[in-house]
Amino acid sequence: MPKVKNEYLENKRNQILDAAFAVSKRKPAFDITMTDIVSQTGMSQGGVYKYFNTIDLVLAALIDKANLQGNYREQIDEIMESGNGLDVILHNLFLISEQYFSDMLISYNKILFELSTFLAYHPERQERINKNVTTTSTFGYLTQCASRIMITGVESGYFMPVIPVEDIMAFIIASFDGIIRDVTLSKCYGGNCVTESGDVFHEKNLIHCLYISTMSLLGKS
């Protein structure tokens, strides 16, 4: 297929995804319909359906765009291949997670948050969407790399954890999930979900606290 034709098709596809993203700003991601997207694009129904004939294909494509946001995987690979000490690599992975999360807050985090909650109760839709997702989760890749560094450090005796490293990883994942939930609720929903105490959650501060806790658990306080 000629390059111009490829670029035209890709531009049209992105136009539709941009429309879906715009709709997601005012509606929950799981409530978006193809009618919403057609209306937002200003294209004909046939024009939109030529590229995406179901809403689940649109959602899968939005997840792919979220996973590719900012080329974070390349940055993670650079950190892992830097040759720095294990503690420096782990610190830099936490720093990149701060950047990634802040970036996602102003882009795709609301969509991913709403879909993860909804799809947990609708496994059949989750399966339909996931089979069309062609990329891997940046957050998942980050945790895999952090786990590899910690296990390597424990096996070499560099880290002397006060609890099993598997429990430390579970703690990190659960903590990240809580940070994602609370920061998203407080920052992506117009202030309607702030805690009763009025606390405002700052993702970078929370992730930094998690880093300090992790190093302490690894025996490097």
- Which is higher by pLDDT, 56 or 105? 56
pLDDT for residue 21 is more than 90: yes
pLDDT at 197: 54
Say if 150 falls within a structural domain.
yes
pLDDT at 30: 92
Cα separation, 37 vs 32, in Å, equals 8
pLDDT for residue 16 is more than 60: yes
Q: Specify whether 81 is located in the same domain as 48.
A: no
Q: Specify whether 76 is located in the same domain as 158.
A: yes
Q: Is the dihedral of CA 175, 178, 182, 183 positive or negative?
A: positive
Q: Specify whether 136 is located in the same domain as 213.
A: yes
Say if 62 falls within a structural domain.
no
Cα separation, 21 vs 41, in Å, equals 11
Q: What dihedral do alpha carbons 123, 139, 220, 200 form, nearest 10°?
A: -90
C-beta pairs of 117-121 under 8 Å, 24+ apart in sequence: 118/28, 118/29, 118/30, 119/30
Q: Specify whether 44 is located in the same domain as 72.
A: no
Q: Specify whether 41 is located in the same domain as 129.
A: no
Say if 172 falls within a structural domain.
yes
Instruction: Write out the DSSP string of 20-76.
Output: HHHHHTTS-GGG--HHHHHHHHT--HHHHHTT-SSHHHHHHHHHHHHHTGGGHHHHH
**Strand, coil or helix: 85:** coil
pLDDT at 69: 85
Percent of the chain whose pLDDT exceeds 90: 70
pLDDT at 201: 78
Q: Specify whether 29 is located in the same domain as 73.
A: no
CATH number, position 133 = 1.10.357
Q: Specify whether 47 is located in the same domain as 87.
A: no
Query: Residues 41-77: pLDDT tens digits?
Result: 999 999 999 999 999 999 999 999 999 888 899 999 9
Q: What number is the average pLDDT over the span 186-210?
A: 73
CATH number, position 11 = 1.10.10.60
List the domain range (segments joined by +) for residue 149: 68-217
Q: Specify whether 192 is located in the same domain as 106.
A: yes
* Nearest-10 crossing angle of helices 109-119, 123-130: 130
Q: Specify whether 105 is located in the same domain as 49.
A: no
Q: Return the number of other C-beta atoms located less than 10 Å from residue 32's C-beta.
A: 23
Closest C-alpha among 4, 7, 19 to residue 52: 19
pLDDT at 203: 87
Say if 59 falls within a structural domain.
no
pLDDT for residue 198 is more than 60: no
Q: Specify whether 141 is located in the same domain as 83.
A: yes
Say if 92 falls within a structural domain.
yes
Q: Specify whether 35 is located in the same domain as 75.
A: no
Query: Residues 136-194: pLDDT tens digits?
Result: 999 899 999 999 999 999 999 999 999 999 999 999 999 998 888 888 888 777 655 55
Number of domains in the chain: 2
pLDDT at 63: 93
pLDDT for residue 106 is more than 80: no
